[in-house]
Structure formats: structure tokens, C-alpha cells
Chains A and B, each alone.
Chain A
Amino acid sequence: MARAILYDSVLCVGCRQCEGTCSERWKLPYDEKIAAEEKTSAHKLTAVRTHGERFSRKLCMHCLDPACVSVCPVAAFKKTEAGPVVYLEDRCMGCRYCMTACPFQVPSYTWSEILAPKVTKCDMCSDRLKEPTRCSEVCPTESTITGEREELIAKARERIKESPGSYYPAIYGIEEAGGTSVLMLSAAPFDQIGFSKSIPKENLPQTTWAALQHIPNIVVSGSALMGGIYWLNNRKEEVARAEGEGGEGVKS
């Protein structure tokens, strides 16, 4: 059972109840001023954005093989079997590689925190896996729903098929960054509602692994090569020294 979220921008009316309930869950302040901020930040883990008459939601995409999980030097991120990508604050030393590596620009940092700054992001309500996520629960138009990834993909395809006039014929999140647990539907091309077009379609940790996998090889062949060169050079010197000592010859 791996949890996923489907967000349907066509059904969204921009009521921002998802924002409110999310802030409540994280015990973050939420008022009109914060509601007007159309970007995620350390005090706003999901944001509804306005694009003319359309809306879109920004939240962690919960990649199937997340860049943040692979880059973290202290394994402070985990892709759980239940679906959510979770952050383990106790491990984090604050290098912020997760932030530079995330293709969706999701993780935020509590920059003004002095003693205990941390990374913040949506965790897909991993604290209550039996019920739907809070944002799904409060959504009055069912534009955000929780379910199984495969099931949600089927549902999204059905919606596109049933009213091809209202939907842009693609599901954001099937291929992006190698696939994500958060899926999006839209009436217009996704870059018109605030989603980057330049997200690679491939599994991103693989780009790193292509280099990292050579390490054992470099260590073994490098040591052998240099050890060999060192031995040869020393041997040459020894021979030269022995010969110089008066033609006694080289023993062994």
C-alpha cells in the first residue's frame, strides 16, 4: 500500500482550505497575509497559486526515487514504503544539498533559526497513514484526493478521457524525475500553471550513481598502478646502488 495524491487543477476553486489545515498540522501561524503568499516556505508547506482563472498547488512531489534521499550525506531523508518522503531532523547538519538537488525546488530552510535550523517540507501526513491526507480531507471539490498511485493514475486517465475538452492530455508526475507519488491534472500545459518544463524525465539519483559506481574500481586499480610505479622506481634505484657499490652483483 503506497500512498499517493492526485491534484486536479480543473476542479480546484482556490479556497485555500488545504493551506489552512496543513499549517494547523505543523502548528504554523496562518492568516490572510500568509494566505496571500503564493509560494511555499518554512512557514507554509503547501501553497495555492493563482494563474489568471486557474489555480495550482505546490507541495512536495514525493518522488519514487527522490533526489533529496540520495544526496543527503547523513541519510536524513527517507522514502518510506508507505509512500511519503520523510525528514529526520535529528540527523541533519544543515548542508542544504537536498535543497540544491531537488528538481522541484521544494525543501525550505528555517534560515532565521539560530540554534536549531532545519529543513521543512510536506510529509504527506505520514503521521496518519490510515486516513487520507488532511489536504484531501478538507478539499470541498475533491480536487485533491489520496489513494494508491496506480489507482489514481487510472482515475486521472478516465477524467481526461471523459472530458477531453477540459483537460490537457497529460498527467504531471508519471515521468517527471523518474515518477512521483503526487500527480497533477491541468486544463492547460503544465508550465502555464507554474510547473517547470525542464524537469528531467529520468531517475535523477542514477546520474550520480553513474559516477559513484566507479569508486571501488578507482581505489583498486589506482593503488595497484601507483604501488607498481613506486616499486619499479625504487627497484631501479636499488639496482643502480648495488651496481655502483662495486660490481658485487645484485642478490635476489
Chain B
Amino acid sequence: MKLAMPRITFWRVIFAAIMLSGVAASYVRITAGLAGSTNLSDEFPWGIWVGFDVLCGVGLAAGGFTLAAIVHIFNLEEYKPVVRPAILTAFLGYMLVVVALMFDLGRPWRIWHPLIMWNPRSVMFEVGWCVTLYTTVLFLEFFPLVLERFKLTRAHKVLKGVMPLIIVAGVILSTLHQSSLGSLYLIMKGKLHPLWYTPLMPLMFYISAIAVGLGMTIFESWHSAKAFGRQLEWPLIQKLSRMLAVVLSLYVVMRLFDVTQRGAWGYLEQPGWESKLFMLEMAMFIVPALLLFREKTRQNPTGLYLTVVVFLLGFVTNRLNVSLTGMEASSGVTYIPKWTEVAVTFSIIAAGFAIFRLAAQHLPVFEAAGHETPAAGGGSRAGLAAVNATGD
């Protein structure tokens, strides 16, 4: 084993810059508190650390339970090649959400308080419990990879025996907290803008999480194919994209129906950012939904990839609209994140890419690729080339 100086590439420089800014921002957070490191205020107490890092982070990690249900409960074995990367992403995603929470909480060392100081009427209490339990479930779902890697066959067998229970628990826990992230906003009646406030928020958050779980799986497969020079599981991806088309359309129809039913279309005529960002969000759901129904889009890898990316960005826009855009008018202030908030957020995303890359290199994540565990000894070009792939 020789340690070689990693080659300097454009994306590695960007990655290093992001991580450095994150270190600087962490220093500011620790030494200057929330006042010094955020633009939050009494009027606007939740910023991008909640709106992006938590709401989007948990959502984008939904592939873990979506694929686990498809493969292990509905027994659609053909999807097996993509279930492991999905669970890995989910596990990483939840760990990173916890990291983000450590930045956002006023007293992060009390993060365990909800486990012993109960308030069953609180959605946040329920989310706290579900996320804790589900992160444990994800660890157990992910652990066989580690056991396999170190050839611990007996432990592997034992864990496999109880896996069905773990999988079912994972799907239930995900159903609960993915929808509950929407329920968090139910109490903000009169505060959250009517273009987004609906009693159906829990259901909307849940269905869009399933869609984004499918979308993220396609996104990952495409990237890992590029990064590791593997073959894209193309027939699988096409099938997943057909599933995505159905779930996404269901979501869009429900959303349109809901806005109509509540008579909220009139708010589009009011001046302000709300109507523009609502239109943008809707377009980023509707256009991909329509494109995914076209045979032509689904047959073109690049076209399909770009369509999915637009939808994923639409999902992020939706969560940011609920947590930021929709809350601004009633708050009476304008919130623009401080550089430190942005730096922490970007560092968390970059760390996610890097850790995924490392895990994929050293653990049998892509099992169906013929069990050649890619670079078991760290042979292939090490480093952070996953970030490379995003450049395409």
C-alpha cells in the first residue's frame, strides 16, 4: 500500500474549498453562537438548516425505504442491484441530517432530550423518535455489507433472519416521519401562505417523498455508473422511471386538485415572490411528469437523467417554499441566509458525496455487478471523484 499524492482536479479543488468554508463556518457557529452564524431572528426562527438540511435531507434519503419495500416486501427481486446504494444513501442522509441538527439546535448536546422528556402531542417529538429509530434500522439494513466485506458469515445469517421485521419497521417509521415533516406545518395555519398550507400536507409530503426516493435512485445509478465505469442498470432504470411517472403524476393531480378545492388560485394574482416561486415549483413537477410519460425521454439516458434532476430540484423548491417562501409574509421580515449557513449546507452535501464514494469503493455496495467488490484494497483512483461526476 502506497500513499500517493491525490491528483489535483477541478472538482477536487471545489470540494476542498467547500469543506474549508464549512470548517470556517463551524468555527463561527461555535464561537459566536446562532446570532453570529445565522441570519435567524425572533420573527424568522427557522432558516435553511431546517428548510434544506432537514426537510430536503430527509426527503432525498427516501430511496432507502422505497426500494427496501419494493425489493424485500413486494419481492421484486429484479430491483436488487439498486437497493444497496439506496440504503447507503439513506443511511448517510440521516447521519448528515443529525449533523445539520447539531448546528441548528441552540443546545445540541441536549439532542437526546425527546427520548426521555415526552410530549406525545408534539409532531417534533414523533419525528425525533422516528428518525432515531429509523437511523438504527438503516444501520441494521446497511450492516450486512460490512459483515459481508469482512466475511463474518454467521452474524450475517442471524441478521438476515430478522431482516424482514427490520424492513417492515423501516417502512412504517418512514411513512410516519416523512408525512410528519408535513404535519409540522399544520399548526402554522394563518402563518404559512395559502398556496402551500393545506390540511393534506402530511399526505403530500409522503407521496412526494416516495417519488423522490425513486428519483434519487435513478440519479445515483447514473452517477455511480459514471464514477465507477460500471454499466448502467438500464432496463431497471427505465422501469423505475415508469414508476416515478405514475407516482409523480398522482402527486401533481392531488396538488392541483387541492389548490382548486381550497380556492387558492386567486393568490397567484397577488404581487410578490410567492406566486412566482409557486409557478416555478409546479413547473418543475409538471414538466418532468409529462416528459416521463414520453417513450422517447425514457429511452434516452441523458434525457431521462436531466428530467429526473429537474424533478429533484422541484422537490427541493417545494420544501424551501414551504419552509422559507411561504413563511416570509406573515413573519414581517426578509430572510436571506448568512454565508455561514450556506457554507455549512454545502459542506454537508459535499461530505455526503465523498462518503458515498468511499463506501462504494470499500464495501460491496454494487453486489449485482458480479461480486467484484470494486477496489477492495483501495486500488482504484481514490479520492473524491464522485464530485467529478456531478460535473457532467
Given the complex of chains A and B, what is the CA–CA distance between A117 and B34 in angstroms?
9
Of the candidate stretches A91-99, A135-143, A154-162, A183-191, the one touching chain B is: A91-99
Kindly state whether residue A147 has any CB partner on chain B within 8 Å.
no
Of the candidate stretches A17-25, A27-35, A64-72, the one touching chain B is: A64-72
Kindly state whether residue B168 has any CB partner on chain A within 8 Å.
yes
**Contact digits for A91-133, partner B, Cβ 8 Å, 1 yes 0 no:** 1111111011101010111011110111000000000000000
Interface residue from A73, A99, A108, A202 paired with B124 (Cβ < 8 Å): A73
Q: Which of A224-252 contact B (CB under 8 A)?
A: 226-227, 229-230, 233-234, 237
- Chain A residues, CB < 8 A from B202: 211
A116 and B124 contacting across the interface, CB-CB below 8 Å: no
Whole-angstrom distance between the Cβ of B341 and the nearest chain A Cβ: 13
Interface residue from A74, A114, A117, A204 paired with B119 (Cβ < 8 Å): A74
Kindly state whether residue B228 has any CB partner on chain A within 8 Å.
no
**Contact digits for B109-145, partner A, Cβ 8 Å, 1 yes 0 no:** 0110110011111111111100000000000000000
Kindly state whether residue B75 has any CB partner on chain A within 8 Å.
yes
- Chain B residues, CB < 8 A from A112: 33-36
B175 and A109 contacting across the interface, CB-CB below 8 Å: no
Kindly state whether residue B188 has any CB partner on chain A within 8 Å.
yes
Given the complex of chains A and B, what is the CA–CA distance between A246 and B31 in angstroms?
73
A99 and B45 contacting across the interface, CB-CB below 8 Å: yes
Whole-angstrom distance between the Cβ of A221 and the nearest chain B Cβ: 10
B121 and A209 contacting across the interface, CB-CB below 8 Å: yes
B45 and A114 contacting across the interface, CB-CB below 8 Å: no
Given the complex of chains A and B, what is the CA–CA distance between A215 and B206 in angstroms?
14
B189 and A200 contacting across the interface, CB-CB below 8 Å: yes
A208 and B187 contacting across the interface, CB-CB below 8 Å: yes
A94 and B107 contacting across the interface, CB-CB below 8 Å: yes
Given the complex of chains A and B, what is the CA–CA distance between A199 and B188 in angstroms?
10
Whole-angstrom distance between the Cβ of A116 and the nearest chain B Cβ: 7
Q: Which of A163-216 contact B (CB under 8 A)?
A: 196, 198-200, 202, 204-205, 207-212, 215
Kindly state whether residue B219 has any CB partner on chain A within 8 Å.
no
Given the complex of chains A and B, what is the CA–CA distance between A149 and B30 in angstroms?
45
B105 and A70 contacting across the interface, CB-CB below 8 Å: no
Q: Which residue of B lies closest to A113 (CB)?
A: B33
Interface size class for chain A?
Answer: 35 or more
Whole-angstrom distance between the Cβ of A200 and the nearest chain B Cβ: 5
A226 and B73 contacting across the interface, CB-CB below 8 Å: yes
Kindly state whether residue B172 has any CB partner on chain A within 8 Å.
yes
**Contact digits for B64-91, partner A, Cβ 8 Å, 1 yes 0 no:** 0000010011110000000000000000
Kindly state whether residue B42 has any CB partner on chain A within 8 Å.
yes
Given the complex of chains A and B, what is the CA–CA distance between A226 and B168 in angstroms?
7
Interface residue from A41, A114, A208, A234 paired with B186 (Cβ < 8 Å): A208
Q: Which residue of A lies closest to B121 (CB)?
A: A70
Kindly state whether residue B25 has any CB partner on chain A within 8 Å.
no
Interface size class for chain B?
Answer: 35 or more
Kindly state whether residue B190 has any CB partner on chain A within 8 Å.
yes
Q: Which of A22-54 contact B (CB under 8 A)?
A: 40-42
Kindly state whether residue B179 has any CB partner on chain A within 8 Å.
yes
B106 and A204 contacting across the interface, CB-CB below 8 Å: no
Whole-angstrom distance between the Cβ of B120 and the nearest chain A Cβ: 8
Q: Which residue of B lies closest to A117 (CB)?
A: B106
B33 and A114 contacting across the interface, CB-CB below 8 Å: yes
Answer whether A93 and B33 are a contact pair too, CB < 8 Å, given A75-B119, A108-B42. Answer: no
Answer whether A207 and B187 are a contact pair too, CB < 8 Å, given A70-B122, A105-B43, A111-B33. Answer: yes
Interface residue from A91, A105, A107, A111 paired with B40 (Cβ < 8 Å): A111
Interface residue from B38, B122, B180, B189 paired with A207 (Cβ < 8 Å): B189
Kindly state whether residue A218 has any CB partner on chain B within 8 Å.
yes
B172 and A223 contacting across the interface, CB-CB below 8 Å: yes
Answer whether A207 and B186 are a contact pair too, CB < 8 Å, given A94-B106, A109-B45, A114-B32. Answer: yes
Kindly state whether residue A1 has any CB partner on chain B within 8 Å.
no
Given the complex of chains A and B, what is the CA–CA distance between A96 and B69 in angstroms?
34
B164 and A105 contacting across the interface, CB-CB below 8 Å: no
Whole-angstrom distance between the Cβ of A94 and the nearest chain B Cβ: 2
Whole-angstrom distance between the Cβ of B121 and the nearest chain A Cβ: 5
Q: Which of B297-344 contact A (CB under 8 A)?
A: 327, 330-332
B42 and A198 contacting across the interface, CB-CB below 8 Å: no
- Chain A residues, CB < 8 A from B110: 74, 92-94
Q: Which of A79-98 contact B (CB under 8 A)?
A: 91-97
Q: Which of B185-204 contact A (CB under 8 A)?
A: 186-191, 199, 202
Q: Which residue of B lies closest to A105 (CB)?
A: B43
Q: Which residue of A lies closest to B46 (CB)?
A: A100
Given the complex of chains A and B, what is the CA–CA distance between A105 and B108 in angstroms?
24
Q: Which of B150-166 contact A (CB under 8 A)?
A: 164
Given the complex of chains A and B, what is the CA–CA distance between A114 and B191 in angstroms?
29
Q: Can you give 14 A-B contacts (C-beta < 8 A)?
A: A91-B117, A94-B108, A97-B124, A100-B45, A103-B191, A112-B35, A112-B36, A114-B31, A207-B189, A208-B186, A212-B126, A222-B172, A222-B175, A229-B73
